[in-house]
Structure 1
Amino acid sequence: MDDKQTMVMDTPSFPAGYMGVAKATAESFFELKGRTGVLWTYVSPAGDYDANGARTGKYVLGGDNLILNSKNESYISYADLALAVIDELKNGAFVQKRFTAVGERT
């Protein structure tokens, strides 16, 4: 989402081929968001979720709003997102919340 609460999938530049996945994940998030009887944390990966990207061990966290790296990209490697998820499991900073993370390309 941006500061006006517009979801990325609702922007004109969003790729049509990803719309089904985007709608399904949004529905699952909104289903959880309304729940109080279960502990949950929702992970929204960056737009460019790179299976072959390097593990840098560094990332920046965000909440509901879209965040970008130093090159203005919504990017993270699988390895760095895995670290962010493990760190969240340890720290519990986003219980009953959504988070995202971005990293730098190497």
Structure 2
Amino acid sequence: MARITVLGATGFAGGWIAKEAAARGHELTLLSRSAPQDAPAGARVLQGSALDGDVLAQAIDGADVVVGALSPRGDMAGKVLGVYTEVAERLAGTDARFLVVGGFGSLKGEDGVRIVETPAFEPAYKPESEELLAAYEALAATPDLDWTYISPAGEFGGYIEDQTRRGAYRTGGEQAFFDADGRTAISGPDFGLAVVDEIEAAAHVREHISFAY
């Protein structure tokens, strides 16, 4: 059993990761600005902002794994990078791991260019994708830190109607991959499954990986 802290526990990714971790008996600490409506039984819930250094320190103190599932949107736009940098600095030199849920835009296409840097990338989502890419670069530049940066598939989020748990997924590196129909998708529950599998196996330390069907 691991002591897992989830930052952004009321978000789409963070919520599914927390549910999967709880179902497997891990000890959870959930940090969110709003109280989770369906927090897993037994979870330690901290209501506050990750921008508050004291609250952040309380949330990650004693954790074996910290999962960053914050979205750089709304009043968090431009601030998530700072939070993740602080977490990385606090965890560096310890045995704790830091897993960050990034964006599809951080992945590379077949030409080796980051998807967020291509002309086809939706401009409305570019700022948040660029911030998450900057977070990846900050992790990679932090010495003595056990990190894993995880990009979900291109079709991922609460806006997708089909959130079926298939109990299966594929793991890739930092190049985007697609299924036989040319789609890149994964449901919330299967993404949570994949992330907790990585927490337990620690198979991709200091790597950028991706999950999709």
* TM-score normalised by length of structure 2: 0.46
Q: CA deviation at 1:75?
A: 0.8
Residue of structure 1 aligned with 2:212, choices 91, 102, 106: 102
Q: CA deviation at 1:70?
A: 2.4
Say whether 1:82 aligns with 2:192.
Answer: yes
User: In terms of mean alpha carbon deviation, does 24-33 or 67-76 score higher?
Assistant: 67-76
Cα distance in structure 1, aligned partners of 2:126 and 2:145: 28
- The residue identity in structure 1 corresponding to 2:205 is V
The question of whether the paired residues in 2 share the 8 Å contact of 1:55 and 1:77 is answered with yes
Say whether 1:32 aligns with 2:139.
Answer: yes
Give the match's secondary structure for 1:101: strand
TM alignment of 1:54-69, pairs within 5 A: 54-69=164-179
Cα distance in structure 2, aligned partners of 1:69 and 1:60: 10
The residue aligned with 1:18 is 125
- The residue identity in structure 1 corresponding to 2:200 is K
Q: Could you give the per-residue CA deviations for residues 53-81 of structure 1, whole angstroms, max 9, x where no partner exists?
A: 21101111101111112221121111111
Q: Which runs of 5+ in 2 are unaligned?
A: 1-107
Per chain length, whose mean CA-contact separation is higher, i.e. which structure has more relative contact order (CA < 8 Å, sep 6+)? Answer: 1
Runs of 4+ in 1 over 2 A off after TM superposition: 2-5
* Percentage of matched positions with identical amino acids: 26
- The residue identity in structure 1 corresponding to 2:109 is D
Give the match's secondary structure for 1:81: helix
Cα distance in structure 2, aligned partners of 1:6 and 1:95: 23
Q: Could you give the per-residue CA deviations for residues 9-55 of structure 1, whole angstroms, max 9, x where no partner exists?
A: 11121111110111000000011112221111111111110434211
Residue of structure 2 aligned with 1:42, choices 149, 152, 156: 149
Q: Which runs of 5+ in 1 are unaligned?
A: none
The residue aligned with 2:180 is 70
The question of whether the paired residues in 2 share the 8 Å contact of 1:60 and 1:102 is answered with yes
Q: CA RMSD in A?
A: 1.3
User: In terms of mean alpha carbon deviation, does 3-12 or 61-70 score higher?
Assistant: 3-12
Give the match's secondary structure for 1:76: coil
